[in-house]
Amino acid sequence: IRQVVSPIMNERAEFGGLVIVFQDFTDARALQRQLAHAAAHDALTGLANRSSFIRVMEEMVDHAGKAGKTGSAGDGEHQFMFIDLDHFKQVNDTGGHAAGDALLKQVANAIRRVIGPD
């Protein structure tokens, strides 16, 4: 919540009172979080998308470069997983895009069960 206080002055520049305005940004912040999540995650699977992957990679490369210059060991390991679904095109071609979407959702859920939601 943001509060703005402004004085009310009369024509002789004398104080006449205050105007106090309160603004609740709760909905705006929630929308901002939703938009940020949508920009970084695939709408179908909910998994991190390509732009999220690129951002994380750039941050890691930058961090590794800084760690190398300072001689520090870094803050941990990172793992990446690349998955190639053999014959996925055939699923789409024979079962339609709905079948392909369903398969992608199942794969995403399996990944989440193994590595966690984040």
Mean pLDDT in residue range 2-6: 94
What's the whole-model pTM score?
0.60
Q: Is 7 exposed, middle or buried, given 0-12, 13-18 or 19+ CB atoms closer than 10 A?
A: exposed
Mean pLDDT in residue range 107-116: 90
Q: How far apart, in whole angstroms, are the C-alpha atoms of residue 8 and residue 101?
A: 60
Residue 60 CA neighbour count, 13 Å, CB half = 11
Residue 7, pLDDT score = 95
User: What are 24's strand-pairing partners?
Assistant: none
Residue 78, pLDDT score = 66
